[in-house]
Structures are given as C-alpha cells and as structure tokens.
C-alpha cells in the first residue's frame, strides 16, 4: 500500500496522511493536548511524555506492528491516528489484535478526514497480517461511534460508568472489526 496519501477534504484543502517522523513530536503533542482540553473525547487530560521522549518513541517504534499516522495541512499536523498491537505484543493470544484511536483538532472535523485516516489504518492492519481491529469510545461520542460503524466495526460490549468527566460518569463502548 502507499504510505503517503494525499486528498482534497470537503473544505477544498489538501490533506496529507503519512507515518509520523520524530520531528513531528512537538506538533503531535500540541494536537493531542488541544483535543484533551475539550475533555469530551479522549482519555488523556494532558500528554504525559516530553517532546524528547515522544521523539524517541517515534524513532524506535516497531512499524511492522504499530502505526503512528499524522494528518497534515500546509505542513501543520492537524491530527493523528495510533494503531498498536494489543498488550504491546506481549501475549501470543492477543498478537493478532490491533487497537486503534484517532483525533483531529476542532477546525478539521466533519470534512471526511477521519474517514480517510481510518480507511488507511484498516488497509495497513490487513497488510500487516492483523485479524482484528479494536476501538474504545465514550458512549457520548456519537460522531466517533458513527465513524467506526461506517467502516464495519460492531459494538461488542459496554463498560458502565468507565469514565468520569467532571461529575458525570460515562459508559465506554467497545467496538471491533474482523479483518
């Protein structure tokens, strides 16, 4: 498969999807922190690693089993997707499963970019021999639930009150797709 994908999103801008490079570390941290501050979509409240640690992580990532994808517009990272071998590949029994999560900063949502990123990850996971993709989503995140449903993920279960946002408890939806 092509590792660099370019397309025009719904607002007419050109978007590039490509594997992350160590030099992207700062911008990846900034986009994750920007989504984290919204408090509604991802587990992270604040990115835990330093820029140097993130650089090292990207530089040493086993890309045969893991994907760190960035979406870029005009040289700026606007979002990312992570697809990682379940249990960090420690167990043979789950080595065929890949866990996927993605995010876009606010101005770039609902323009078809998340769909292209997930499509990329599905093709990548198939090419790497994975048999299953997993995703965990807040039950309140209708856009994300619809995105995964659109690509053939099905709801496998729910964990009640798995997350706390302020004083509100939110269920976790576990979705999976057999490849």
In the complex, which residues of this chain contact ligand COA (CB under 6 A)? 35, 41-42, 101-104, 109-115, 137, 141-144, 146-147, 150
Residue 62 or 110: which CB sits closer to ligand COA?
110
Minimal distance, residue 136 CB to ligand COA, in Å: 7
Minimal distance, residue 59 CB to ligand COA, in Å: 25
Residue environment code for 139-176, b if the CB has 16+ CB neighbours within 10 A, otherwise e: bebeebbebbeebebeeeeeeeebeeeeeeebebbebb
Distance CA 179, CA 40 (A): 29
Residue 58 or 69: which CB sits closer to ligand COA?
69
Residue 29 or 104: which CB sits closer to ligand COA?
104
Minimal distance, residue 52 CB to ligand COA, in Å: 26
Residue 42 or 56: which CB sits closer to ligand COA?
42
Distance CA 80, CA 77 (A): 8
Assess contact for 31 and 80: CB atoms under 8 A: yes
Minimal distance, residue 60 CB to ligand COA, in Å: 25
Minimal distance, residue 138 CB to ligand COA, in Å: 7
Residues in CB range of 178: below 8 A, 6 or more apart: 131, 132
The closest residue (CB) to ligand COA is 114
> How far is residue 152 from each of residues 8, 107, 115, 134, 136, measured CA to CA in Å?
24, 26, 12, 11, 15
């Amino acid at each position: 498969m092509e590792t660099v994908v370019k397309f025009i999103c719904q607002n007419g801008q050109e978007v590039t999807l490509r594997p992350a490079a160590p030099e992207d570390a700062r911008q990846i941290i900034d986009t994750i922190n920007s989504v984290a501050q919204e408090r509604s979509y991802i587990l992270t409240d604040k990115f835990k690693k330093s820029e140097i640690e993130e650089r090292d992580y990207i530089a040493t990532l086993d890309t045969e089993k893991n994907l760190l994808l960035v979406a870029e517009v005009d040289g700026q990272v606007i979002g990312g997707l992570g697809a990682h071998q379940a249990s960090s590949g420690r167990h043979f029994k789950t080595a065929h499963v890949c866990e996927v999560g993605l995010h876009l900063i606010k101005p770039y949502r609902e323009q078809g970019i998340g769909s292209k990123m997930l499509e990329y990850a599905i093709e990548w996971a198939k090419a790497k021999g994975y048999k299953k993709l997993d995703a965990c989503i807040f039950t309140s995140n209708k856009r994300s639930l619809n995105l995964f449903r659109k690509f053939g993920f099905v709801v496998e279960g729910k964990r009640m009150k798995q997350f706390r946002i302020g004083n509100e408890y939110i269920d976790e939806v576990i979705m999976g797709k057999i490849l």
